[in-house]
Chains A and B, each alone.
Chain A
């Protein structure tokens, strides 16, 4: 049997076991959404906020409803385990086995995401239906499919991003103390709280050059109808570009780090 399939299944089982945890973290997302809905309602009701943000009312509402969930969905947590492996020598058990550590982590992560994805898709379907009926969102099957593709790419991209962050543990063993901060900052600049392009064109341009927005903001903006076909295609290509780049960055870091690991670990 393919070892990665086992790892994938183990990831799924793990995520099903800790399902209460995930439900609760979703619940706190609901509070954040409520607050933002009130904020946007006020701003759009009492000013020409659309001109400032560049989003129509229905676009920003759909974004608010979906982005927090997309952000939860792409979020990782394995960086603590990688750090633990490197710090306490747990890595040895992977080195002597015929598996690649990166692939092992990736399939385990993907397995964990599948049950969450199922649940979130149900919720998202309800929210999108609501948006179509109440907010006048126009949606096509094609758009939904592209959204799903972008979502999977977003999950993958975030994996490689955090894999690289986690591998810093080879050089700084106590870096796990910083993971909390790093992930909060990345959630913010990925557009998990507010879309980053409401802060002006220059800012949006800089964000477009960085990988973060392609994990959360880009998939969310596909659904709300903000992007045309060309923008979607460009975005998908950018996602692929960053995935490939970070994949190789991860490989290089792993190779260099392992030298250090072999030198230090005894």
Chain B
């Protein structure tokens, strides 16, 4: 009975998500210049990501067990994950104005999960597409050039870990934006988290031991882009595999708890 109910709800939310996507796409096709601008901005930032790969290829050295081809795969994952993140990122940014100006009132009264509605309503296809396409190309190139196995286990495992990584990204990077329920300007917080995200521009292996530990267990940014790649290489230990699944779940529940606490704290902006 409960399972049935869960599945029904799940279906409803998926359908809603589809509707959000449709409306976002329609509005972006209406304002095409903005759509093109989104693509262009992401292409610009991608240049920075790619130049790191160029430096590694130029130096032509392995970083630990990673050849430049592996690094291309890792940066490809990073680019693709950036695309997924940017897909719903506009919602995180507009959260603070919703709270400040009381626009949240309108959403609270609707018969769906408030968090779902507020954090996944507007989707940016321009930024998503640019990163997704480039990321996939780099992943395929890196995978092939590094001679990594293409079989059912590696591909399905890779996709599964990417899904886990998406849940982790969403949860982990939502938390700092929730601070807007308590403080007025979150631009600084947003900038800092963005900078944290950029640490993934290089595989975790270049960082020191302690930084790797912090980035894996305390602020698990490295889990997002390194674990899928390490898995394909057969370098992800069983313990880490468990953490790859546990971390997203854990952080999702933390984000959920912070969200509930934040909404309880919300007192509309109007008098």
Contacts and interface: CB of A to CB of B under 8 A. Distances in A.
Contacts of A194: 51, 55
Contact of A43 (B43, B47, B59, B199): B59
B56 to A, nearest CB: 8
Contacts of A20: 188
Contact of A39 (B41, B198, B206): B206
Interface residues of B, number: 35
Given A39-B52, A184-B45, A49 B59 contact: yes
Interface in B174-207: 187-188, 191-192, 194-196, 198-199, 201-202, 206-207
Interface in A101-128: none
Nearest to B196: A31
- Chain B interface mostly: helix
A52 B41 CA distance: 31
Given A39-B202, A177-B34, A178-B40, A198 B55 contact: yes
Interface of A: 20-21, 24-25, 27-28, 31-32, 35, 38-39, 42-43, 46-47, 49, 52-53, 174, 177-178, 180-185, 188, 193-194, 198-200
Interface string B25-56: 00000000110110011011101100110110
A35 B191 contact: no
Contacts, number: 89
Given A31-B195, A183-B44, A184-B45, 20 more contacts: A24-B188, A24-B192, A27-B192, A28-B192, A28-B198, A31-B196, A38-B208, A39-B52, A39-B55, A42-B206, A46-B61, A47-B59, A47-B60, A49-B59, A49-B61, A178-B40, A180-B37, A181-B44, A184-B41, A200-B58
Contact of A181 (B43, B54, B194): B43
Contacts of A174: 33
Interface of B: 33-34, 36-37, 40-41, 43-45, 47-48, 51-52, 54-55, 58-61, 63, 187-188, 191-192, 194-196, 198-199, 201-202, 206-208, 211
